[in-house]
Amino acid sequence: MTGTCGKGPAGKWYNAPMTPARWFTFLALLAALAASAAPVSAGDPAQDQPAAAVTDSLGRRVVIPPRVRRIISLEPEITRIIVALGGGDRLVGLDFFLRYHDHLFPLLYPAGAGLPVVSNQGQDPNYELVLKLRPDVLFSSPSEFPSTETMQLKLRTPVAALASLGNFGRLLDEIETVGRLIGRVDRARELAEYFRNRIGSVRRALRDVPAGTGPRVYLAFWGSLLRTPVSYEPVDAAGGTNCAAGLLPSYLGAAGATVPVEQILRWDPEVILVQGNYLPAERTVTLQSILRDPRLASLKAVRAGRVHYTFGFWYWWDPALVLVETLYLARLLHPREFPAFDFEKEGNEIFRKFYGIDGAFTALAKILNCHEWVRN
Amino acid sequence: MSGSATKVRGWMVWAAFLLPVVLLLLSLNVGTYHIPLRDVWTTISRGISPAAGAAPSPYADILFRIRLPRLLLALFAGAALSVSGASLQSLFRNPLVFEFSLGISYGAAFGAALSLVFLGKGFPPQLAAFVLAVLAVLLVLVIAGKSASQIVPVLLSGVIVSALFQALLSLVEFFANPYALQSLIFWLMGSLANAVWGDLAVTLPIIVLGIAILILLRWRLNVLSLGEEEARALGVNVKWEKVLVIAVATLTTAAVTSVTGVINWIGLIVPHLVRMMVGPDNRKVIPLSAAFGASLLIVADDIARSAASFEIPIGILTSVVGIPFFIVLLRRSGKAWL
Amino acid sequence: MNIRVENLEFSYDDFRLEIGSLVFAGARVTSIVGPNGAGKSTFLKCAASVLAVPRRSLFVDGKDLTALRGRERAALVGYVPQEPSFTFNYTVLDFVLTGRAAFIPAFSSPAGTDVRLAEDALHYVGLPGRGRRPFLELSSGERRLVLIARALAQGPEVLLLDEPTSFLDPRHEVETMTLCRRLAEDKKKTVVVTLHNLEMAVRYSDAMVFMKGGKVVAAGAPGDILSESLLRDVYDLDMKIVECAGQKFFVK
């Protein structure tokens, strides 16, 4: 293009020599460009990202806007991840479980007590409140009522159903997905790496143990002797074999099955794990009740006294807690491969890594009275 | 019926009563844990005359601690629910009445909910279920008030009280923390899985006594089914006898429900099945309902606990097993229903 | 065994039954007649203890009915309702057997004697061998006879029959009333029937009671009290009494 702008000896404008005036103009233009391009938000080390398309746990493709500043999460597992990634300040609404019933969450995010409660047990969320809170995205639970589609129909906000559904791989994917959505990619990667490494080291320690020879474990979850999850990955990762594996079709994932008592006898587990994530006074199934149950007297686990508590699921997992649990189970199931170590210290460290809080595990252990369990 | 009701011969009655016993013995061999027949026999004979120093063997535990109590519960619960249903149908002269018509099922459910959610260990769900079930029926009679001698007011009160306790149950569920709610939902599903000797030692005597009393009252139910006026004209103390029948049916059903939760359909289907086969005379209907109800529940429970490695809810099975029978018999007996 | 009524009062809603003094002679057939709503059925129900009456207002053979226990009362008074209640289609014999209820303890079943009494009663009313048939298979006339048989199986001295001839064809009407006469004459029962059919009443009764508006208007042998003015008072209708072939007929 020929013209009158600074023709230099080669006749092209970009070959013109840079005079101070031109330098000044150039720098001023650059500054103006930089100013307009800088993100408006404060303290956000994140990049400006385009709208993200996410495939949620129900296989739905959800388009989420680039700046996710206001989040409501009805799936406790996701809320925990958001807090771990440092996005707690973006939560504008909380679900009823984490606010009123979870023993752990108030320790991890005390500010949550000030958030409005948007959902209630077995009911539709408070849509009016949701609209009033103007979230940029709503994370729903794929396994709870009401259905995500119903919610999406009632809200213009994108609704994404995310949960690990009892699978470590999906848990890690979620951490990275949420990290991407809230602009905490580095932090997400850091936590995912940490989790993978620790689980990896457990698996490595077990590499000499042939597959399928780990102790057979029966899990008595959800406050009943007879209800058991057909898949519980911490047990698998810790080198145990879940007796109930394969009981239900695999597409049902980590569903719970009810079994007749004699099925437990048929399996004859070597270890029994009872879900202990209850206040001690509210436990309907206790170690004592199992050890003293005359129907179970002939079980290997009962005769050897290998009946223990473990944490279990409540609305899936807390990433830090499930890591602690896996380490605890590894020690329980394979004492030879895993030397004794200070669980409380280890637990606190993992929680500090995830949540930046000291002594969280100690506090939880006190509430659940788990000092018994974690005695080596 | 047009005279097509089977004439009941002596041997048929014996066969009917032997059926649940035979089924119970056969069912000792049914379960996901396979015990070879020979070992079943040895274990039983050793159980009757135990050998010295016998180690706790899984066979003995399975047969005597798991299967036997559960089968006994199935037998007596099936009999109790059928007999209660049949008695109330005669008393209220209404074929749609069944043992839970007076509010027992929701009363018991609400009691269990109170216990599991609020009252805790001190007041176990079985006890709370029993107490609230009986209270529900008392409430029905109080609401019916002066008209408690008439059928429609009592049944209507039953509907109202059921609705009341259902609402209260929902309220408890609303306020329950998720931990307790899990236990409650499990309890409400109705199952014979909780048959342990400790509970049975308390409830079975009540259940057996209730069944026995209702069987003794079987001819009396013919008279009471004529209605208030005619029965009174015949010289019967209708008020007392009605109270007796309601009380016994209630206590028996409440005792069953406290251990098993709510198992539907039996009290409705079995008496009708029996009437279709032998006619409405309660001298036959009541005892045969006991026998067939017991058999039905044993068979349904066998399937529930052994068809798959997981437990199938028994409510589904009682309908799946009972309803086809019902339809077949209905078609054969023509139009007469009662 | 006679029935004596002494200041019987019973009321419900707007209706009031008041009978000052009345005697039904033993071993006789007495018919109660009157317009609809006169209180005939109500009175019968009172006498049957279906409705509660004050003490010392009803006496059978000198005994206060209200003071008697069920069994004693059943031995004295039997009631045959106009419509049988039925929800369940019992056999005829089972139906008649329920008449023995007062004499069988609550926790027992009928014994051989009870069954025999029931069969005898069926025989007496003219339905032998129908015992095994379901009740609903019978014609309405036969059903009435079964109801009477039930009362007979109970074995009372007094039989109260509420409209036993309603909805029956003439032949069955006559059969029923003849049965009533036999009961009075052969078995010496005190039979009280309520009737709409005046001809039947006059022909088969030893005594008649005219009721209107809850009160007794006249009582006595038909020959003594029957008159056209009485009929006009009771029925609010002009009727002529006509004699033909030795019977009285009432022409409206």
Helix (H, G, I), strand (E, B) or coil at B261: coil
| Closest CA in chain A for residue B120 | A282
**Cα separation, C133 vs C122, whole angstroms:** 12
pLDDT tens digits for chain B (338 residues)? 334 455 667 788 889 999 999 999 999 999 888 888 888 888 888 776 665 555 557 788 888 889 999 999 999 999 999 999 999 999 988 887 888 888 898 999 999 999 988 887 778 888 999 999 999 999 998 888 877 667 788 888 999 999 999 999 999 988 888 888 888 887 888 889 888 898 899 999 999 999 999 999 999 999 999 988 899 999 999 989 999 999 999 999 999 999 998 898 899 889 998 998 888 999 999 999 999 999 999 999 999 998 888 888 898 888 787 778 778 777 776 555 55
Per the CB < 8 Å rule, is B311 touching A266?
no
Specify the pTM: 0.85
pLDDT tens for residues C40-89?
999 999 999 988 888 888 999 889 998 898 899 999 999 999 888 777 88
Decide if C90 contacts C172 (C-beta within 8 A).
no
Residues of chain B contacting A97 with CB distance shorter than 8 Å: 178
Residues of chain C contacting B272 with CB distance shorter than 8 Å: none
Range list of β-strands (E), A177-295: 216-220, 227-229, 241-242, 256-258, 271-275
**Cα separation, C175 vs C152, whole angstroms:** 16
Residue in B230, B238, B245, B285 to test binding to C, most C beta-carbons within 10 Å: B230
**Cα separation, A373 vs B6, whole angstroms:** 66
Secondary structure letter of residue A113 according to DSSP: G
pLDDT tens for residues A261-306?
999 999 999 999 999 988 888 888 899 999 999 899 999 999 999 9
Residues 176-205 on A with a CB inside 8 Å of B are none
Which pLDDT score, from 0 to 100, does residue C185 have?
Answer: 93
Predicted-complex ipTM score: 0.90
Q: What is the CA radius of gyration of chain A?
A: 26
Tell me whether A22 touches chain B (CB under 8 Å). Answer: no
Can you read off the two tokens belonging to residue C159? 């039989």
| Bridge partners for A140 per DSSP | A161
**Cα separation, A91 vs A113, whole angstroms:** 12
Per the CB < 8 Å rule, is C85 touching B283?
no
Cα dihedral C228/C230/C232/C233 (nearest 10) = 170
In Å, how far are A329, A339, B221 from A376, measured between CA atoms?
Answer: 11, 9, 67
In Å, how far are A80, A104, A289, A318, A375 from A365, measured between CA atoms?
Answer: 18, 10, 21, 15, 12
**Complete edge-to-edge strand list for the sheet that includes strand A307-310:** A241-242, A216-220, A271-275, A307-310
CA-based max dimension of chain A: 103
Out of B90, B216, B235, whose CB is closest to C101? B235
Per the CB < 8 Å rule, is C106 touching B225?
no
B108 to chain C, closest Cα gap in Å: 29
Helix (H, G, I), strand (E, B) or coil at B44: helix
Residue C121 one-letter amino acid: A
Per the CB < 8 Å rule, is A259 touching B310?
yes
**Cα separation, C68 vs C70, whole angstroms:** 7
Q: Which chains touch B (3 or more CB pairs under 8 A)?
A: A, C
Which pairs with CB-CB distance under 8 Å and at least 24 residues apart come from A282-290?
A282/B120, A282/B179, A282/B180, A283/A223, A284/A223, A284/A224, A284/B116, A284/B183, A285/A220, A285/A223, A285/A224, A285/A225, A289/A225, A290/A220, A290/A225
Residues of chain A contacting B183 with CB distance shorter than 8 Å: 222-224, 284
Least confident of A109-118, A128-137, B95-104, B130-139: B95-104
Residue A15: pLDDT band (50, 70, 90) is low
| Closest CA in chain B for residue C156 | B234
The DSSP secondary structure of A139-173, one letter per residue, reads: EE-TTSSS-HHHHHHH-SS-EEE---SS-HHHHHH
Per the CB < 8 Å rule, is B309 touching A122?
no
**A217 pLDDT above the threshold of 50:** yes
Residue A145: pLDDT band (50, 70, 90) is low
